Amino acid sequence: MNGQVSNLNRITFNMLFNVYSQNGLTPVKASGNYIYNNDGRKYLDCYGGHGVISIGHNHPKWTEAIAQQFQGISFYSNAVTIPQQEILSQKLATISGYPDHALFLINSGAEANENALKVASFHTKREKVISFYGSFHGRTSGAMAVSDSQSMKSPFNSDHHVQFFNLGDLKVLNEIQNNDTAAVIIEGIQGIAGVVDPGKEFFIKLRDACSESGTVLILDEVQSGFGRTGEFFAHLNSGIKADIITMAKGMGNGFPVGGLLIHPEIEAKQGMLGSTFGGSYMATAAAIAVIDVLEDQNLLTNAHAVGKKLVHDLSEIKEIKEVRGRGLMLGIELYENSLSSRKKLLEDGIVTGSSSNQNVLRILPPLTFSYEEASLFTKSLKSILEISS
Ligand code: PLP
């Protein structure tokens, strides 16, 4: 080593490449709507690790399904038939409101959107995509290109044909009617932006313009889907149907799985799409268990009812500027930066999330969230805001 003496006894560690802002917790256990820190303290989880926990942490039916699958066969690629994919596809057809769409399985939200954009471009033979300010669709190249965040984009992500419009801006309709757009991609409710609903009227107008121009309408339901808003997909509230719907997060309750539902007239030829891990035995077992529990425990109804109570109770707190969202996907806009309130909530044993709008506190609790837990959250936030005002 160039004459240098190496210290063979010294053990060196690589530094962890940490790009995340963290809340200071080190959970070692989780159950239902609670996580348990390494100091033994219990926290009410109003965030579900970015809206992933849908049926509650470590739901016994979910852990049992995964354990059983693990004992049978845990992995083989899509070079073989995986019967669980068929079971999942049938269950999704029933619960999603899309009985005729085809299912393609993948591992994450970004990948689901990446594949949706690709399918739309194959189908239309067009390049351009329309997206919206405030949107977030994931970190892979195409998904990043259609996301509105300059700080996350590298020059490598910037060479796609993407045009951005304000949510609700009707000028987008003229652009779609130029007949040169492959896809319009839009979140069912914008999550990271601070829970912003595009609104029924806007969805209906987009649907009409896309149908008239042969443009594929992609609904990103990665955050707002799988029952989070009290309906299986948030956009179903507007009465429209999408050509492609993407999902992930709540689909696996913490097991990485994502998917796309694709309109039957959009052909997905062999070789067009693929993934080594997509649709694995373990991921499909987890997703099947999630759907079973959503149905058995009526969790969509629960999300709707508890969400309604939260909106009602929070709207009565005068220190809150606005409460947005539906079901258990809520953005609480304060008159000031929400960071100190979130820290105080954490001191009270309640975990919440942030938004790119710094005044907005975001909550995405498990869909098993109860009225009592909702009251606990509201009371704690109310007293924190009253003391600080
Ligand atoms: N789409 C939406 C609406 C999201 O909120 C996210 C993640 O927060 C993604 C896509 C990306 O999902 P993933 O992190 O699983 O790639």
Mutation test residue for ligand 1: of 54, 131, 132, 137, the one with most atoms within 8 Å of CB: 137
What confidence category does residue 248 fall into, taking pLDDT thresholds of 50, 70 and 90? Answer: very high
Residues in Cβ contact with 202 at an 8 Å cutoff, skipping those fewer than 6 apart: 167, 168
pLDDT above 60 for 78? yes
pLDDT above 50 for 3? no
Return the pLDDT at 11: 65
Centre of ligand 1 to C-alpha 320, Å, is 27
CB 120 within 8 A of CB 183: yes
Return the pLDDT at 10: 64
**In the chain, what percentage of residues exceed pLDDT 70?**
97
Return the pLDDT at 1: 42
Q: Is the CB of 142 under 6 A from ligand 1?
A: no
What would the pLDDT profile of 86-141 be if each residue is shown by its tens digit? 999 999 999 999 999 999 999 999 999 999 999 999 999 999 999 999 999 999 99
Rounded distance between C-alpha atoms, residue 305 and residue 287, angstroms: 24
Rg, C-alpha atoms of the chain: 22
Rounded distance between C-alpha atoms, residue 211 and residue 181, angstroms: 12
Ligand 1 nearest-atom number relative to CA 113: 10
Domain coordinates of the chain in residue numbers? Answer: 63-295
Average the pLDDT over 224-236 and give the result.
Answer: 98
Centre of ligand 1 to C-alpha 4, Å, is 48
DSSP at 54: S
CATH 3.40.640.10 is right for the domain spanning 63-295: yes
337: its two tokens:
């930066």
Centre of ligand 1 to C-alpha 1, Å, is 46
**In the chain, what percentage of residues exceed pLDDT 90?**
90
Centre of ligand 1 to C-alpha 387, Å, is 35
Ligand 1 nearest-atom number relative to CA 111: 16
Rounded distance between C-alpha atoms, residue 286 and residue 265, angstroms: 29
Q: Is the CB of 110 under 6 A from ligand 1?
A: yes
pLDDT above 70 for 366? yes
Return the pLDDT at 16: 84
Q: Using alpha carbons, list the distances in angstroms from residue 264 to 98, 101, 121, 244.
A: 10, 5, 16, 10
Closest C-alpha to ligand 1, atom 10: 137
What length does the chain have?
Answer: 389
pLDDT above 60 for 6? no
Centre of ligand 1 to C-alpha 192, Å, is 9
- Measured from the Cβ of residue 39, the count of other Cβ atoms closer than 10 Å reads 8
Q: Is 262 helix (H, G, I), strand (E, B) or coil?
A: strand
Average the pLDDT over 221-235 and give the result.
Answer: 98
Q: Is the CB of 192 under 6 A from ligand 1?
A: yes
Whether this model's pTM surpasses 0.85: yes
Top pLDDT among 244 and 271 is at 244
Where does the chain show beta strands of DSSP type E? 27-31, 34-37, 42-45, 102-106, 128-132, 162-165, 181-187, 216-220, 244-247, 258-262, 320-326, 329-334, 350-351, 360-363
Ligand 1 nearest-atom number relative to CA 135: 3
Q: Is 365 helix (H, G, I), strand (E, B) or coil?
A: coil
Nearest to 106 by CA among 122, 117, 121, 93: 117
Return the pLDDT at 17: 82
Mean confidence (pLDDT) of the chain: 95
Average the pLDDT over 295-304 and give the result.
Answer: 98
Ligand 1 nearest-atom number relative to CA 191: 5
Rounded distance between C-alpha atoms, residue 321 and residue 330, angstroms: 13
Average the pLDDT over 266-277 and give the result.
Answer: 92
Q: Is the CB of 341 under 6 A from ligand 1?
A: no
Q: Is the CB of 108 under 6 A from ligand 1?
A: yes
Which range is least confidently modeled, 154-158, 173-177, 273-277, 308-312?
A: 154-158
Average the pLDDT over 193-217 and give the result.
Answer: 98
Ligand 1 nearest-atom number relative to CA 138: 11
Q: Is the CB of 149 under 6 A from ligand 1?
A: no
What would the pLDDT profile of 35-70 be if each residue is shown by its tens digit? 999 999 999 999 999 999 999 999 999 999 999 999
Ligand 1 nearest-atom number relative to CA 108: 15
CA angle 367–24–359, rounded 5-degree value: 65
What residues form DSSP beta bridges with 57? 32
What would the pLDDT profile of 252-270 be if each residue is shown by its tens digit? 999 999 999 999 999 888 8
pLDDT above 70 for 251? yes
DSSP class per residue in 120-157: HHHHH---EEEEETT----SSHHHHHTS--TTT--GGG
Burial 351-385 (b: 16+ CB within 10 A, else e): bbbbbbbebbbbbbbbbbbeeebbebbbebbbebb
pLDDT above 90 for 2? no
